[in-house]
Structure 1
Amino acid sequence: MKRILTILSLMMVMATLGACAPARPTAPSVSATQGPTVDVAAMDTSRDIVLAVANPMDPPAMHAGSNLVGYASAGHYGASQRAISTLDALKSRYGIHEVTGWPIKTLDLYCIVLEPPPGMSRDAMLATLSRDERVQLAQPLQDYKVYSDAARDAHHYNDPYAELQRGFVETDAALAHHFSQGAGVHVAIIDTGVDMMHPDLRDNIREARNLVDDDVAAFNRDSHGTEVAGIITAEGDNHQGIVGMAPHAELSIYKACWYARAPGDGAHCNSFTLAKALAAVMDTDARIINLSLGGPADPLLNRLLAQLLQQGRIVVAALPPKGNGIGFPSALPGVIVVGASGGPAATPGMLSAPGKDILTTQPGGGYDFTSGSSMAAAHVSGIAALLLAIAPRLDGAKVNELLQRSSGSTHGVEEVNAASAVTALRAQQLAAH
């Protein structure tokens, strides 16, 4: 009977969701990527190569017109004189064509995306470059996709759709909110863009960066990132929409994925855009990084993500749809991998969270239902924020252990529980004192 009433309620809500969006304010600013603009959608992941050379920053010269990045042209933003010379020599030697380039300060590298010369295969070019001692890294430019398909003493919210949020209800988030709502925790979302004007999101977004292009309108129309952001930190008690798992947490948005021109093809990212996003997060105090996406293993991305993990960041990734974690980012040790409850069989160490028919925010100030392990990962990122607000020094291993130990059965399916995790953490703290 309860299931029938829920379905009837959903039907009534869906008939009115589009009419419930309030007046639209001015959009917050979105920072564009530094350096020359490039059409990342036109990059060829079946042929292009990522190449990296050493990029030691030259000391500042003592005469007018000098700077810390040498006399780099606009096409080599952030490149040292040594990196520029090395790249020029490699281009001359091998006849390669540079598509774009960018620095990765934390690794002391300058990377370019290049096209092999006509008549030479990518594999042959990679083999040649791997033998050149001037090359620090050479790998394929790879493609990544986002993972989406389309009665207790709890905190009572005035948000009209709160009771229709399957994940929020099943994980007992309202109970957990008596003790934590994620205040002071900074979460980085690497995904598509997000509707920066959405009334349930705009006050919780600290900053946004576009690592794909300069199209602000497209940034605000992107659905996947908007859905993930709503699950993590939609504002509570504002008389509209839904409530996030951690409604007082702060978000930083890094657009590294874009929607393909072909309808229904979903959102894609590549090694170039993801590397820029990961490097950008290193310059922030974000403790949690949500990666609701995935694809093949990637040496450059693995190096960047490993460094973020070494810095104590908590990285939450979505399980690939086929249930294997052999690629990026889910295969990297230390990453918290999350699958949708009732989906592919959980492997040891993997978490399960609600990921089917999840009501969340949509572009244009609206709300709708969506599914996928992307949404499951977002639930776990939100719970991690609740835990960090209580114990800021928790690391990823401890968060994962708490969530594993406090998971329970909901309708016969094992999944994370926000209230149980918060209770377990508080009990540990009391025992320690």
Structure 2
Amino acid sequence: MRHACLAALALVLSACAAAPTASAGRGAASKPSVAAAMDSQRDIVLAVANPLDPQGTHAGSSLLGYVPPGHYGAGQRAVSQLDELKQRYGLREVVGWPIKALGLFCIVVEPPAGADRDALLQNLARDERVKLAQPLQDYEVYADPPRQSAHKYNDPYADLQRGFVETDAALAHETSQGGGVHVAIVDTGADVTHPDLKGRIADTHNAVDDDAAAFDRDAHGTEVAGIIAAVGDNHQGIVGIAPKAVLSVYKACWYPDRNAGARCNSFTLAKALAAVLDTDARVVNLSLGGPADPLLGKLLDELLRQKRIVVAARPPDGDAMGFPDNSPGVIVVRSSTATPAPADVLSAPGSDILTTQPNGGYDFTSGSSMAAAHVSGIVALLLSIQPDLDVASIRKLLLLDGKTAHGLNQVNAALAVRALQTSLRHAGSP
């Protein structure tokens, strides 16, 4: 019944709106890229140590010594070892990239034709030159399947935002709107020209391809960004949970075609997370997931070690045993339901959420991806008040809603902000 009402409401609103611009669809398929051409059933992620020790330079050499142009960012030792490994095991390099935070240089390789990948991985694991060898794995964003048509709205719809209303975000905004907090969104691209996102997205990074047009037409990242930080008080559209927060968007996921959900892989996610580690982003939103992954696990551990607050979407099947939801330091969020949640999982609105869409539009969407975005926004509200909060303190504040008595763990922005203010007063803070 709810979906029928929402569909009817969307039709009425679209009839009252000005004629929308032509849409490229919910998620525009990216042009063929290195990432999209990778095969998770065959390809391997391989890493060697990359200390980048100072090298003796000679006339005509770079500061890294005689490093082939294709390996810019790799030290001579890493280049030599990778060349030896490729020759020894018959590997073909697809792409390579340095991970400064881990002191590694990684490459994605294709095994030789007919080779058994599992056996090859075992041999590589025994090779003393290899620091990491693992399958290339696929990941996906957590949202309902895309609709075939989208309805565009031009008027303010704050009262239609279930998440904004149910978390009492407007009350929280009397104290905090997330000002000064930097949130990194690792996702698809996002519509940086959207009227409700202009000025909120400070920078973008593309770990998939160089297709700027596809970046702007990507739906999932646009939806997540709108929930977190859509502009408030601009007489149009919606209001984000943390409308004064600063966003950075890292495209690590792409749409294989317009009728499929977005996908990511170990390569694109590792590039994005490594880039986040080089920034001051305090909150990292990961509305995606998939199998456990050694390389991604290392990067996640480093983010947590640096006291970043990582918010992840719980898989639709509830199996929190993969990346990024299997780490105890990650705040895992499910879409609110009437059933009790596990003690370590938060609930937030995730059904029929009105948010931003590409081409300046708005539409309803559902999924734990949207629930995680609500929590990332609330975390930004808290950090704006007390920047040095750790994840344990934030988790405690997020579990203050009275609904936790029934095991639902429903977050509430106003209660969390009020509790933080009270604790600061008791501690003698100004």
**Structure 2 CA distance for aligned equivalents of residues 360 and 43 of structure 1:** 32
Which runs of structure 2 are paired with 1:42-121 in the superposition (5 Å)?
A: 42-121=37-116
- Aligned partner of 2:12 in structure 1 is 12
Kindly provide the amino acid, as one letter, of the partner of residue 128 in structure 1. Answer: N
**Structure 1 CA distance for aligned equivalents of residues 393 and 419 of structure 2:** 12
Does the 8 Å contact 2:338/2:408 carry over to 1?
A: no
* 2:427 is aligned with 1:408: no
* 2:320 is aligned with 1:325: yes
Kindly provide the amino acid, as one letter, of the partner of residue 348 in structure 1. Answer: A
- Aligned partner of 2:384 in structure 1 is 389
Kindly provide the amino acid, as one letter, of the partner of residue 108 in structure 1. Answer: G
- Aligned partner of 1:197 in structure 2 is 193
- Aligned partner of 1:141 in structure 2 is 136
- Aligned partner of 2:337 in structure 1 is 342
Work out which of the residue numbers 217, 220, 224 in structure 2 matches 1:221: 217
Overall identity of the aligned pairs, in %: 65
Alignment TM-score, normalising by the size of structure 1: 0.90
> Which has the higher mean CA deviation after the structures are superposed, 344-353 or 278-287?
344-353
Question: Unaligned stretches of 5+ in structure 2?
Answer: 22-31, 146-153
Q: SS at 1:359's partner residue?
A: strand
**Structure 1 CA distance for aligned equivalents of residues 131 and 198 of structure 2:** 41
Q: Return the offset for 1:8.
A: 6.7
CA pair 173-309 structure 1, distance change in 2 beyond 3 A: same
- Aligned partner of 1:32 in structure 2 is none
CA pair 259-17 structure 1, distance change in 2 beyond 3 A: farther
Which runs of structure 2 are paired with 1:148-227 in the superposition (5 Å)?
A: 148-150=143-145, 160-227=156-223
- Aligned partner of 2:226 in structure 1 is 230
Which runs of structure 2 are paired with 1:13-28 in the superposition (5 Å)?
A: 13-16=13-16, 19=19
Q: SS at 2:399's partner residue?
A: helix
For residues 235-278 of structure 1, the C-alpha deviation after alignment (integer angstroms, 9 at most, x for no partner) is: 000111000000000000000000013x4221000000000000
**Structure 2 CA distance for aligned equivalents of residues 360 and 410 of structure 1:** 30
**Structure 2 CA distance for aligned equivalents of residues 374 and 239 of structure 1:** 27
- Aligned partner of 1:430 in structure 2 is 425
Does the 8 Å contact 1:167/1:355 carry over to 2?
A: yes
- Aligned partner of 2:277 in structure 1 is 282
Question: Unaligned stretches of 5+ in structure 1?
Answer: 22-36, 151-157
Alignment TM-score, normalising by the size of structure 2: 0.90
Q: SS at 2:297's partner residue?
A: helix
State the superposition RMSD in angstroms: 2.4
CA pair 100-320 structure 1, distance change in 2 beyond 3 A: same
**Structure 1 CA distance for aligned equivalents of residues 125 and 293 of structure 2:** 15
Q: SS at 1:86's partner residue?
A: helix
CA pair 124-412 structure 1, distance change in 2 beyond 3 A: closer
Q: SS at 1:379's partner residue?
A: helix
For residues 306-355 of structure 1, the C-alpha deviation after alignment (integer angstroms, 9 at most, x for no partner) is: 01111010000000000120000000120000000017752111100000
Work out which of the residue numbers 207, 230, 243 in structure 1 matches 2:239: 243
> Which has the higher mean CA deviation after the structures are superposed, 4-13 or 181-190?
4-13
For residues 7-52 of structure 1, the C-alpha deviation after alignment (integer angstroms, 9 at most, x for no partner) is: 875553243456478xxxxxxxxxxxxxxx9521110001100000
Does the 8 Å contact 1:187/1:286 carry over to 2?
A: yes
Does the 8 Å contact 1:322/1:344 carry over to 2?
A: no
Aligned length: 409
